[in-house]
Amino acid sequence: MSRSSASVDVRGPRFAAWVTSAVLAVALLLGSGWVVAAQAVVFAVGASAGMRRAPYALLFRVLVAPRLGPVREREPEAPLRFAQFVGLLFAATGAAGYLLGAPVVGAVATGLALVAALLNAAIGFCLGCELHLLLRRAVPARTA
């Protein structure tokens, strides 16, 4: 049914979500637009090049996976890529806010990205994935 049959070890994205949360928390504490911008680039790579090439996934494969047991569960890549894209929108807004002199906008957008990343890390809830249907519902049907 899905166009791309690519899948990843479920533990990879969870690990990536924890790293993302830590990076965004540091960005908030430092009030640093550049740290948010760096995270935005990470999201952009994940969304465009795929989760297997995403920087934190690389970190997972090299540092974490060898210490864990064999892969028990895999999940499709498409939802994750979409979620990375949603993350990119928030992080880009956050970075722009900080760097263009609207630090409150920057902090709030970064905070929202942090909530999404933490929910993913802690309970495996994918906010970006859930938003997708709500958006499709809200937009009137296009001509098929």
Partner 1 sequence: MDATGLIVLLAALAVTATVAWWLRARSGAVRAGGKGEDGMDETAVLSGLGVRPAEADLTVVQFSTAFCGPCRATRARLQQLQRTRPGLAYVHVDAESHLEEVRALDVRRTPTLFYLDRAGRLLGRSSGAPRPEELTALVEAHTGIRE
Write out the residues near partner 1 by the rule CB under 8 A: 1-2, 25, 27-31, 75-76, 78-80, 82-83, 103-104, 107-108, 110-112, 114-115, 118-119, 122-126, 128-130, 132-134, 136-137, 141
67 burial type by CB count under 10 A (0-12 exposed, 13-18 middle, 19+ buried): exposed
Pairing of strands 74-76, 7-9: antiparallel
The residues, ordered by sequence, that sit 6+ positions from 29 with a Cβ below 8 Å of its Cβ are none
Rounded distance, CA 85 to CA 71, Å?
A: 26
Residue 4 three-state SS: coil
Residue 91: CB minimum distance to partner 1, A:
14
- If the CB atoms of residues 42 and 83 are measured against partner 1, the closer one turns out to be 83
- If the CB atoms of residues 42 and 112 are measured against partner 1, the closer one turns out to be 112
Residue 86: CB minimum distance to partner 1, A:
10
Residue 45: CB minimum distance to partner 1, A:
19
